[in-house]
Amino acid sequence: MNMKLIKPKKLSKGDTIGVIAPSAGNADIFPHRIESAIKSLERSGYKVKFATHSLERNGYVSSDPKKRADDIHEMFKDSGVSAIICTIGGDHSNQILKYLDFELIKNNPKIFIGFSDISVLHYALMKKSNLQTFYGACLMTQFGEYPDILPYTLEYFNKAITSLDSIGDVVPSKEWTAEILDWTMKKDLERPRKLIQSDGYEWLKQGSVSGQILGGCVPSINHLTGTEYWIDPTGSIFFIDVPEGYEFGKGLPVYALDAYLADLDNIGVFGKIEGLIIGRPYNYSTDEYNELKKIILYYTQKYNYPILLNVNIGHCDPIITLPFGVNVTIDSKQNKFSINEPSVI
């Protein structure tokens, strides 16, 4: 990876954050999460504006692919919108790629943030619009948290997009959670989720390396392999987000993760990168976590770069906001993960 990306302007108090739903459409099912998120952003000093189709639902997506793309264009064209955040992830961001006007987006650069299936859009906007985007909080999942967004998540959201300084050292959170409180029954409004003490970072392989950060959620990034939207990861520090699986409250089965990593191995990813970061896997048992480590070691057995686990990236909370394409360092001797350059201008 050797890309010079366009850094967006920073977010300031009083600015407007635009909301889109480029994949799943759950806003109408869980309006209390939307309401909580709006209040959270307003408490932080921001205004909120929803794209035309962002609160709709059409089966398992928010709206048809063309309308979802139109919403993205609407928010990028709107001079009153300073940042764009996604309501939630899903599985179908890949449906809208052929409808996107990448030149329009390139000519109107601004903060674009989301995680999970939004990985697909991050790659496309980097590759086709040269825009530096951000892997981080979504509206319903993080800003809709009861009674408010977790402080660690908000801290790194602000560090990434409101400050002209580099984020610097990413300190692991002291606590984390993957607890599910049923949104349908509004159990998430009855109490905060239980937090578990964190053991911090774990190093699967030792070493120190710096490079541009790339990566995303499997299987979302796998949708792009072999397409014009895929980004060559050569020389990058690559991160992997291990999401929920097929059963409520459980993580992606290890056998499925193995298959998705095989996809990446077959196109040479693990031989091209200079370092590997694994986000804290969603709700893995001790046995599943140990299996994950074995699988990672299997696919990287030929290589001696550092491998860092349990970073606050992805589907457990709290999470950082990670700017794509910036220079980062991972260093096992210092037990350090640092982001070395500013991500906004």
What would the pLDDT profile of 39-59 be if each residue is shown by its tens digit?
999 999 999 999 999 999 999
Place of tokens 């919403």: 71
Domain shared by 20 and 149, yes or no: yes
What is the C-alpha separation between 225 and 121, in angstroms, rounded? 14
Which of 164, 182, 197 lies at the terminal end of a domain, its last residue?
164
pLDDT at 248: 85
Domain shared by 85 and 210, yes or no: no
Nearest to 134 by CA among 320, 328, 260: 320
CATH number at residue 122: 3.40.50.10740
Sorting pLDDT into bands at 50, 70 and 90, what band is 203? very high
Residue 340 buriedness (CB in 10 A; 0-12 / 13-18 / 19+) = middle
What is the C-alpha separation between 343 and 97, in angstroms, rounded? 25
pLDDT at 31: 97
> Is the distance from CB of 126 to CB of 4 less than 8 angstroms?
no
Residue 64: inside a domain = yes
Residue 25: inside a domain = yes
Residue 7: inside a domain = no
Domain shared by 235 and 103, yes or no: no
Specify the number of domains making up the chain. Answer: 2
What is the C-alpha separation between 234 and 205, in angstroms, rounded? 19
Domain shared by 213 and 147, yes or no: no
Domain shared by 219 and 157, yes or no: no
Given the DSSP bridges, would you call strands 307-311 and 202-205 parallel, antiparallel or unpaired?
A: antiparallel
Domain shared by 330 and 195, yes or no: yes
Which of 122, 139, 164 lies at the terminal end of a domain, its last residue?
164
Question: What are the structure tokens assigned to 287, written together?
Answer: 């046995």
Domain shared by 99 and 157, yes or no: yes
Is 251 a residue whose pLDDT tops 90?
yes
Residue 8: inside a domain = no
Note the pTM of the prediction, 2 decimals: 0.98
What is the C-alpha separation between 345 and 332, in angstroms, rounded? 30
Residue 124: inside a domain = yes
CATH number at residue 331: 3.50.30.60
Domain shared by 90 and 207, yes or no: no
Domain shared by 186 and 236, yes or no: yes
Q: Average pLDDT for residues 90-96, to the nearest whole number?
A: 97
Which of 105, 137, 164 lies at the terminal end of a domain, its last residue?
164
Residue 33: inside a domain = yes
Domain shared by 146 and 99, yes or no: yes
pLDDT digits (tens, 9 = 90+) for 120-173: 999 999 999 999 999 999 999 999 999 999 999 999 999 999 999 999 999 999
What is the domain range of residue 78?
16-164
Domain shared by 284 and 227, yes or no: yes
Residue 345: inside a domain = no
Domain shared by 251 and 155, yes or no: no
Residue 11: inside a domain = no
Residue 247 buriedness (CB in 10 A; 0-12 / 13-18 / 19+) = exposed
